[in-house]
């Protein structure tokens, strides 16, 4: 505990300022007390984390921000939202789960959002908001806006990799982020000295070259003065700033918490430093507020909360029929206009086709930028962006540290801030280091915010095996990502799609993941000189046939077409359907083809168990069972980590002969 027992002496503490600070703290305290009461009455459910004891932090810090500044918070965010100006009635209605809530009842206590007030919400993932703050600040800096993004988080977040990755990125790029660590000494039930050898959190932040300032978080005046100083420095272009706001929560971690980890004496000792009581005492001592003033404030707060409860009670439940709203944007981008053929073709590769699409996107829209590991001078691991650094400069072709979670999260934040980022993850296995940001932020923010926060982000990554890279660099995980609502999953398999999918994806209001199979980068062919954006919503028939449908995507398209050619020599005409888009699947195209041929073979480089092929099989059975003349067959990779030895790798992967064999079996033939 800090030894200071009274608030710091404050210059310029007049009656108006004193009233404002005390009023905000009282609002938070009484609101939280009412929330606890309503939780006990089962009006509010789920996890709920109260801010009682920490009111001085929000009341002192948040008013130092301007209306154009952004705020990213953690799950203990009721107080932050109130001080930011989110109405108490919409906050409480959200906690009730009512449609009048600030997130339409989709987020609840831990996920309050208000896009109009640039309140980017609570985040239930510890440290999950830090990369978003970095991205919001990056968008502001790139667009020349003198804004500040403040990010609030607890001491527990300092143990997470996302804290360190975000601090490094913000410092490296001199981004206008104010990091506000609310150090209440406990990460749930783990005391800080049991989690860290170095308990001075300013030392940790300072190791990244970031200016730091420890602050008595129980002293609202000290918080306000420190925050004002920090905001001025950040807004002036000095880069990020770190405040360690040393505070204490008087209640348990959450309403579920039995609080067995700290003794009552510790809590009572801290309550002697109640920020409201301390500040009231200071105001009386200086004659700034009278008993009548205090009574009036209590009355105003009580009236506001009473109205908020009535508003929440009278609120409406969103119709169950609207359950699936806000998974994807309700105003999707229009289909790209068809470009007339250019009159001639050019010889190119899959790699060069993607580079051409990147160049066009960067030229067309100044909001577009590319970031990822080695995308600059190196051109990325597969040299896709080689040469673009010289054309567009380091602000638009932005090399990142090896910190996937931070730069993917920064891409999400930049998209929220109005930029159009393209994030390159070197290989699909590295995307698992950013899965938290992809799953918990990119895919969910639109839904949790009740439609307020679309995430127009494109993430590119290399996928697939066949290059003798062994188990850790040969994954085909696109089927995993296709499991997640809120994402659009694309798998370009042709030169036209490699050239055209990126442009269309950039116009999507939803997050799009592009999976580029590593074996295709050197694929060469002819491409119309006027090739441009393509439809990303529909599958494509790459070869027509009448006898069996071969369904595939990405790196196995070429093998499947080869299998179809083998079958044609035997008089079997196979139809080859290229899925192209893995989420949402073009189920109509799948069923139309299978209903015609009455047989299906699914070719998927993923493992068979729990695979995308299993989902496609289920949809065929559900939608075309009575049209089938044979069981649906699947050709997938062997259920083994991908081996290095070439002959074993080839044996593990779907090959044309195995695909043709499965098709013959479906036709009741045993040729070959």
Find the CATH number of the domain harbouring 600: 3.40.50.920
H or E element: which one contains 308?
A: helix 291-314
Number of domains in the chain: 3
Residue 329 belongs to a domain: no
pLDDT average, residue stretch 580-598: 97
For residue 620, give the nearest of 611, 608, 609, 633 by alpha carbon. Answer: 633
- The larger pLDDT score, comparing residue 3 to residue 529, is at 529
Segment 146-158, tens digit of pLDDT: 999 999 999 999 9
Rounded to the nearest 10 degrees, the angle between the axes of helix 88-96 and helix 15-40 is 20
Domain boundary among 502, 528, 554: 528
Residue 31 belongs to a domain: yes
633-637, strands of its sheet edge to edge = 540-543, 574-578, 548-552, 600-607, 633-637
Q: Are residues 276 and 157 in the same domain?
A: yes
Q: Are residues 100 and 237 in the same domain?
A: yes
Q: What is the per-residue pLDDT for 322?
A: 95
Rounded Cα distance between 295 and 300, Å, is: 9
* CB-CB contact of 77 with 140 (8 Å): no
Q: Are residues 151 and 88 in the same domain?
A: yes
Report helix, strand or coil for 76: coil
Q: What is the per-residue pLDDT for 10?
A: 59
Segment 161-218, tens digit of pLDDT: 999 999 999 999 999 999 999 999 999 989 999 999 999 999 999 999 999 999 999 9
CA distances from 245 to 18, 275, 516 (A): 20, 13, 45
Residue 533 belongs to a domain: no
Q: Are residues 272 and 405 in the same domain?
A: no
* pLDDT of residue 3 exceeding 70: no
Residue 514 belongs to a domain: yes
Report helix, strand or coil for 462: strand
Domain boundary among 265, 291, 313: 313
Q: Would residue 144 be called left, alpha or beta, if left means φ above 0 and alpha means ψ between -120 and 50 degrees? A: left
Rounded Cα distance between 39 and 217, Å, is: 27
Domain boundary among 498, 528, 558: 528
* pLDDT of residue 259 exceeding 80: yes
Q: What is the per-residue pLDDT for 337?
A: 79
Q: Are residues 203 and 133 in the same domain?
A: yes
- The vertex-118 CA angle with 117 and 122, nearest 5°, equals 105
H or E element: which one contains 182?
A: strand 177-183
- The vertex-463 CA angle with 461 and 467, nearest 5°, equals 130
Full residue range of the structural domain in which residue 93 is found: 17-313
Q: Are residues 587 and 656 in the same domain?
A: yes
Q: Are residues 489 and 518 in the same domain?
A: yes
Q: Are residues 256 and 355 in the same domain?
A: no
Residue 4 belongs to a domain: no
pLDDT band at 340, cuts 50/70/90? confident
- Report the range of poorest mean pLDDT among 88-92, 334-338, 514-518: 334-338
For residue 248, give the nearest of 197, 167, 185 by alpha carbon. Answer: 185
CATH number at 177 reads 3.40.50.970
Per-residue HEC secondary structure of 548-563 comes to: EEEEECHHHHHHHHHH
Rounded Cα distance between 572 and 171, Å, is: 62
Q: How many beta carbons lie within 10 A of that of residue 626, not counting itself?
A: 6
For residue 628, give the nearest of 665, 601, 598, 662 by alpha carbon. Answer: 598
pLDDT band at 343, cuts 50/70/90? confident
Burial class (CB in 10 A: 0-12, 13-18, 19+), 197: exposed
DSSP β-ladder status, 186-187 and 190-191: antiparallel
Q: Are residues 428 and 380 in the same domain?
A: yes
The overall average pLDDT reported for the chain is 95
pLDDT average, residue stretch 402-428: 97
Rounded Cα distance between 278 and 218, Å, is: 8
Q: Are residues 102 and 243 in the same domain?
A: yes
Q: Are residues 107 and 238 in the same domain?
A: yes
* pLDDT of residue 520 exceeding 70: yes
Of 80, 111, 164, 473, the catalytic one is: 473
Rounded Cα distance between 302 and 23, Å, is: 11
pLDDT band at 671, cuts 50/70/90? very low
Q: Would residue 183 be called left, alpha or beta, if left means φ above 0 and alpha means ψ between -120 and 50 degrees? A: beta
Phi, psi of 520 (to 5 degrees): -95, -15
Residue 177 belongs to a domain: yes
Residue 73 belongs to a domain: yes
CA distances from 598 to 7, 502, 548, 586, 620 (A): 79, 34, 7, 18, 10
* pLDDT of residue 266 exceeding 50: yes
Q: What is the per-residue pLDDT for 22?
A: 97
pLDDT average, residue stretch 561-587: 97
In the residue annotation, 473 being an active-site residue is answered as: yes
Q: Are residues 77 and 193 in the same domain?
A: yes
In the residue annotation, 100 being an active-site residue is answered as: no
Of 165, 373, 404, 605, the catalytic one is: 404
Q: Would residue 669 be called left, alpha or beta, if left means φ above 0 and alpha means ψ between -120 and 50 degrees? A: beta
Q: What is the per-residue pLDDT for 6?
A: 40
Residue 331 belongs to a domain: no
- The vertex-70 CA angle with 66 and 76, nearest 5°, equals 110
Q: Does the model's pTM come out above 0.85?
A: yes
Q: What is the per-residue pLDDT for 458?
A: 98
Segment 300-325, tens digit of pLDDT: 999 999 999 999 999 999 999 999 99
pLDDT average, residue stretch 596-607: 97
């Amino acid at each position: 505990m800090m030894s200071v027992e009274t608030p710091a002496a404050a210059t310029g503490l007049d009656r108006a300022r004193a009233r404002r600070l005390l009023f905000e703290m009282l609002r938070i305290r009484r609101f939280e007390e009412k929330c606890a009461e309503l939780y006990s009455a089962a009006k509010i459910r789920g996890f709920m984390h109260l801010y009682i004891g920490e009111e001085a932090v929000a009341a002192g810090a948040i008013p130092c921000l301007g209306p154009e500044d952004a705020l990213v918070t953690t799950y203990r965010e009721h107080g932050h939202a109130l001080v930011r100006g989110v109405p108490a009635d919409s906050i409480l209605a959200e906690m009730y789960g009512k449609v009048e809530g600030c997130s339409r009842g989709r987020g609840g206590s831990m996920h309050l959002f208000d896009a109009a007030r640039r309140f980017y919400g609570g985040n239930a993932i510890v440290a999950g908001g830090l990369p978003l703050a970095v991205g919001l600040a990056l968008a502001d800096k790139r667009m020349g806006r003198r804004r500040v993004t403040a990010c609030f988080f607890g001491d527990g977040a300092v143990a997470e990799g996302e804290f360190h990755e975000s601090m490094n990125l913000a410092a490296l790029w001199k981004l206008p982020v104010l990091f506000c660590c609310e150090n209440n000494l406990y990460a749930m039930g783990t005391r800080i000295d049991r989690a860290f050898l170095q308990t001075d959190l300013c030392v940790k932040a300072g190791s990244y070259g970031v200016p730091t300032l420890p602050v008595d978080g129980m002293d609202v005046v000290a918080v306000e003065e420190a925050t004002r100083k920090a905001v001025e420095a950040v807004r002036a272009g000095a880069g990020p700033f770190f405040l360690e706001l040393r505070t204490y929560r008087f209640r348990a971690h959450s309403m579920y918490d039995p609080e067995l980890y700290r003794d009552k004496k510790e809590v009572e000792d801290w309550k002697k430093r109640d920020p409201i009581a301390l500040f009231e005492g200071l105001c009386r001592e200086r004659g700034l507020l009278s008993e009548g003033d205090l009574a009036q404030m209590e009355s105003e707060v009580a009236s506001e909360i009473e109205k908020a409860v009535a508003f929440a009670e009278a609120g409406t439940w969103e119709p169950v029929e609207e359950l699936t709203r806000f998974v994807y944007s309700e105003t999707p981008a229009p289909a790209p206009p068809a470009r007339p053929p250019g009159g001639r073709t050019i010889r190119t590769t899959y790699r060069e086709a993607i580079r051409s699409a990147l160049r066009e996107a960067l030229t067309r829209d100044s909001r577009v930028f590319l970031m990822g590991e080695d995308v600059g001078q190196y051109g990325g691991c597969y040299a896709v962006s080689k040469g673009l650094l010289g054309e567009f400069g380091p602000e638009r072709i932005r090399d990142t540290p090896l910190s996937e979670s931070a730069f993917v999260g920064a891409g999400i934040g930049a998209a929220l801030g109005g930029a159009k980022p393209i994030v390159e993850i070197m290989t699909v296995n590295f995307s698992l280091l950013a899965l938290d940001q992809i799953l918990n932020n990119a895919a969910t923010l639109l839904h949790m915010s009740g439609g307020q926060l679309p995430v127009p982000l494109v993430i590119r990554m290399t996928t697939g095996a066949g290059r003798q890279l062994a188990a850790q660099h040969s994954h085909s995980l696109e089927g995993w990502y296709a499991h997640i609502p809120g994402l659009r999953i694309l798998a370009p398999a042709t030169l036209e799609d490699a050239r055209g999918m990126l442009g269309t994806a950039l116009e999507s209001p939803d997050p799009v993941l592009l999976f580029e199979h590593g074996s295709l980068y050197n694929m060469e062919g002819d491409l119309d000189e006027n090739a441009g954006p393509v439809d990303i919503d529909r599958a494509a028939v790459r070869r027509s046939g009448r006898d069996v449908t071969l369904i595939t995507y990405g790196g196995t398209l070429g093998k499947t077409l080869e299998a179809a050619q083998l079958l044609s020599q035997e008089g079997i005409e196979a139809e080859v359907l290229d899925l192209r888009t893995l989420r949402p699947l073009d189920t109509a195209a799948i069923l139309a083809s299978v209903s015609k041929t009455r047989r299906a073979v699914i070719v998927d480089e993923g493992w068979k168990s729990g695979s995308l092929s299993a989902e496609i099989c289920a949809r065929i059975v559900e939608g075309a069972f009575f049209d089938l003349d044979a069981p649906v067959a699947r050709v997938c990779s062997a259920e083994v980590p991908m081996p290095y030895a070439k002959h074993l790798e080839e044996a593990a992967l779907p090959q044309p002969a195995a695909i043709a064999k499965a098709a013959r079996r479906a036709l009741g033939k045993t040729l070959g």
